[in-house]
Structures are given as structure tokens and as C-alpha cells.
Amino acid sequence: MLQAPQRSALSGPALVRLLARLAEADVAESRQSLADRLSQWLGWTDAIALSSALDGKPPAVAGGARAFGRAEEEECTRVRRSLVSAIASASVLAGSRRRGSSSLSARMSAPRVAVDTQTDYAVFRQRYLALQQSMETAIGTLRGRLRALLATQAPALARLAVVDAVMERALGERERTLLGAVPGLLGGHFERLKEGEARRVAEAEATDASNAAAPLASDAWLDAFGKDMQSVLLAELDVRFQPVEGLLAALRAC
């Protein structure tokens, strides 16, 4: 008995593993070290700025030092919860909840209809891009606020603030390019699910050719896609929040 080949287990961030599964891609582990990959992503001006930040004289500690406390912790928590809430409450992804609000009897008495092949991915793509923009803006503001606080603490922490600012400038465009490809990968997943539902309906029609009514279409595939899209957005949020978590850890240790 032939067995389908199994994809090798992929390590790395949940976002990468999730996208590999949804794209049905067998992604090989990179053999490059982090340093090698960074050397390819940084331009020569970025490399000089980073080297100066790491090896140069520690920057002077900014005036107006204040202790790290609950206000910053609570603001980080608030920003993250706000973004999670925006992802969870996105109306375009809440189809199952909207349909669930109708009565069972009304749904059972609804006419049998063919699958809606006109469902378009564009509205999902637009919403994904809007949520990405919200994440970038909110997290960027939060990151700058934490850097400003780091710069008032001690020379070593002020250096870390400079390094983080250099890295954000150097890798920002690369990050936008990579994360900007995510909606396209989800678009392929959307089309595969929609085509699968269309095949199901076609097979049902062929099996029950004597029934004049079209087979009952199901929105289960659309609900599944909405859940997958939310999972990807939450995994992307985790990746985007990593620099903030690093700055928070440095502040907690000072």
C-alpha cells in the first residue's frame, strides 16, 4: 500500500510553520546562520551604522531619567490586547458567528442553493492589509516609546536603544516585503478551499442527478478560511511583537 510522502517537520516561528502548512509547501530548513542572513539583508550604510552603535563609545544617557514601571507594562499589554481584539472582531472573518445568530428552524427551511462561486478574496486581502498596517503603526509607536525610556537608564541600555533604532531602520523594508507576501499565500489557500467546495457540490449533483434542486451549499470552507486567517494574523502579531518583548526584558532587568 502506497503512503503519501510526509513533509519534514519545520522549526522556526509559528508564522512560518503555519504558512508552510496552509500553502501545502515542503519548506526546507535554512542552512544559513542568522549572522549570514543578516549580512545579506543589511546594506553597507546599515552595516556601518550598526558597527558604530555596537563598537563605538556608549551614547550619553539622556536627561530626565525615570524608573521603568507599571505604566509601560500596562501600555504594552493594552496595545497587544487591542490588536488581538481587532483581529478577533474583524467582521469579514466572523461569518460563522453571524450565521450562528440565525435560528435553526430558519436555516433548515432555507432553500437549497448552489455554492457561491462568486465569493471574492479581495475583501479578505483588504482587511488583512488594514490589520497589518494597524500592527505596524501601533507597535512602531510602542517600540519608540520603550527606546526613549531605555536611553535614560544607563549607557549600556542607551546603546541598546541605538542598536534597536538602527535595526528597525535597516530591516523595516525587508520586514514589510516579507510580511507583505503573506496575503498572497493566503489567497492561494482561499482558492483551494473554494475549489474544493465547488467539487463537492459537483460530485453531489452527479450522484443525485434525479434531484432537480441544486445541492445545499456549505459555508464551512469559508469559516475554515476565516479561522486560518485569524491564526496567521495572530502568529504575525507574535513575530512583530518580538522586538518589544526584547526591550521590555532589558528594562525589567535594569
The pLDDT score that the predictor gives to residue 134 is: 96
3-class DSSP string for 65-127: CCCCCHHHHHHHHHHHHHHHHHHHCCHHHCHHHHHHCCCHHHHHCCCCCCCCCCCCCHHHHHH
Q: How far apart are CA 119 and CA 117, in angstroms?
A: 6
Residue of 12, 8, 11, 25 lying closest to 238 (CA atoms): 12
pLDDT at 245 over 90: yes
Quote the pLDDT of residue 208.
66
Residue 33: HSE in the Cβ half-sphere, 13 Å Cα cutoff: 3
Which of the pair, 46 or 242, is modelled with greater confidence? 242
121-180 confidence digits (pLDDT tens): 999 999 999 999 999 999 999 999 999 999 888 888 989 999 999 999 989 989 999 999
pLDDT at 186: 95
What pLDDT shows up at residue 128?
A: 95
- For 117, what's the count of Cα atoms within 13 Å in the CB-facing half-sphere? 8
- Mean pLDDT score of the chain, rounded to an integer? 80
pTM for the whole structure: 0.81
CA 128 to chain centre: 9
13 three-class SS: coil
Are 171 and 41 contacting, i.e. CB atoms less than 8 angstroms apart? yes
Whole-number pLDDT of residue 125? 94
Share of the chain above pLDDT 70, in %: 76
| Residue 3 pLDDT > 50 | no
Looking at residue 209, its pLDDT comes to 60
Which of 92-101, 105-114, 164-173 has the lowest average pLDDT? 105-114
CA-to-CA dists, residue 133 to 129, 130, 138, 180, angstroms:
6, 5, 9, 10
Question: Burial of 240 by CB count in 10 Å (0-12 exposed, 13-18 middle, 19+ buried)?
Answer: buried
pLDDT of residue 108: 32
Per-residue pLDDT of 39-84, as tens digits, reads 788 888 888 888 888 887 777 776 666 667 788 899 999 999 999 9
- Mean of pLDDT values over 77-103: 73
